[in-house]
Structure 1
Amino acid sequence: MRRASTRAISRRSFCTTAAASLAVLLAGCSNPFSQLAGTHTSVSDSIAKKTAALSPKVTNTVEKNVLTVGIDPDSDSALLFVEASGKAYGLDVDVAEALADELGLRVRFVSVSAGSAKLGSTCDVVMGAAKGDVSGSTVVGNYTQTASAFFHDGSTGVAKVEDLSSKTVGLQGASVSQSTLQKTGLKMTVKSYNDLNSAFAALSSGKINYVLCDAYCGFYLQESYPEASFAGTLDAPVERGVAVSSGNAELSEALASALKKIDGNGVMELIRKRWVNGEKSLDSSMQIQNVPAGTSDTSDGTTASVGGGAATAGANAATI
């Protein structure tokens, strides 16, 4: 990929221009990703300058003095924005760049499929991986989590089942969040939208009671819709970290140390402020309790859907 501009990226402009130039890639997305491969400079001038001045702390990498980072567009990982030009931005990208900086390495991004990623050959690491995603790997750290979450206009804390029952929820059609809801016995009226901005706008105007979406997408959109409050996850959060070859102890240990370093020196906090509104990690205490299970007769758990259809390809694609 061509070297990315180091210009400041506005989160708000990402939201408002997403339909024209950006896609949020979560699991199952088939949006163009081929241009991602190549050397990608840091989003921060300071990181780039520091990396150039540092000595590599590891030697066992695919390319000398380079951390080759695999990003899987079909994973359930956190926010990933890809411009029409192929340039990639997002939480995974920023974390990878910060880790490479700590290791004294340049960074190169390649598109991979977690199921067939060849650690130590195609790439050194795969970002946003859960245990079992990448064959022959050890997952280091848990810098991000995935779960479908409800958002409400005004703070309510973690919702209860009775709070949700018979209410109207907006979501993006054909998304993982919709599928997750359909597997429960919750009885809610569903309105589907072409993008999450439209769903959050409907929440803000009082047309719906809740939005259900990937938690991190919701956190991201809270900057544009500050009245939207997190109301709990529908499913248990899945921890995700950095997959590295089980046979590369040197890199695994170095990554664990680097993750601890950026978590302690404020870098991770800055990254999370940029992409997820500064929200901390998801945990089991944030999951809505006693959600009824779906049955063969009521497996959809919802009434008929109205509104727009899915705007993006794939089971977990989400357009902001």
Structure 2
Amino acid sequence: MASRPRSSRCRRTLLAALVIASVAVPVSGAARPSAVPAPAPAALAPLGAATPAVLAGRYAAGRDGIRAALRAAERHGDHRRAAALRAMAVPARHFLSFDGRDGGRAAEVFGDLSRAGRIAVLVPGSDTSLDRYARLRAGATALQRELGEGSAVVAWLGYRTPGTVSPEVLTPGRADDAAPALRRFVAELAAARPTARTSLLCHSYGSVVCGRAAAGLDVTDIVLYGSPGTGGDNAAALRTRATVWAGRGTGDWVARVPHTRLRLPFCTVGLGADPVSREFGARGFAAGGAGHSDYLKPGSLSLANIARIVSGLAPAEEGRHA
């Protein structure tokens, strides 16, 4: 008798995977634009101490890489990508790293990293790329303003994200590929700012990336929001010394995603337990009425509470947010 609910969940997960695969594979394959060519980025030396001079050199290298990718996009005739890169290349923007190939990789800094005592690393979810970067940038900007002076936010687009409507979004495969890069990046930040309080903020499928990378990461907090799962059964399975937090807005559709895993001969379908459930074991925080893309919206309870966690403060309760 006890096996029936589990079997039912597995069947629902498999059915959801089959439905998405049958619809998404032909549609995404037909609609996917041709790859935009970009040169390989120049090799970068380890960041080392994050002094203003060192950071200025790193940001200049990032700008050079963006401009090289811009020229390639213009030659290719991709006006959308060229416009996005042109906006990124302005001197006021600061990229620790940039790679224009395969949808794009970037790490953009908001705030003064050389003086930051609090650092938040944003790990985005599905459908994030150089062409769809505006939402990630807007969230990072809003969070840095909420945190205020003495903080820095890094928008880390360090992996090829899955499409929201695609078979890949139901499996941890992309996250497994991304996890080593996230570990290297966090280690580089820790070496650059060893006294800073660093938090990992993981949205949607980014939670799976954080879950796969969590073991051994030198961070104080791991914050999961809009999360479909981490690829594991509970917070203890992440094998991290960081405090694990989880929040979900009442307007977020991800609550309806089946929270289970089904191991098949060729892959694992499903992303594991619900991070906001009691059984998962994370610390909860109130996220108000946030929809799936609204957690870092200015003035929201979710933004205020995420900023409080990054600052080492207890999150506010529902109804007590000014």
Q: Which has the higher contact order (CA 8 A, sep 6+)?
A: 1
Same fold (TM over 0.5): no
Q: TM-score, normalised by structure 1?
A: 0.24
Task: Name the one with the larger strand percent.
Answer: 1
Scaled by the length of structure 2, the TM-score of the pair is 0.24
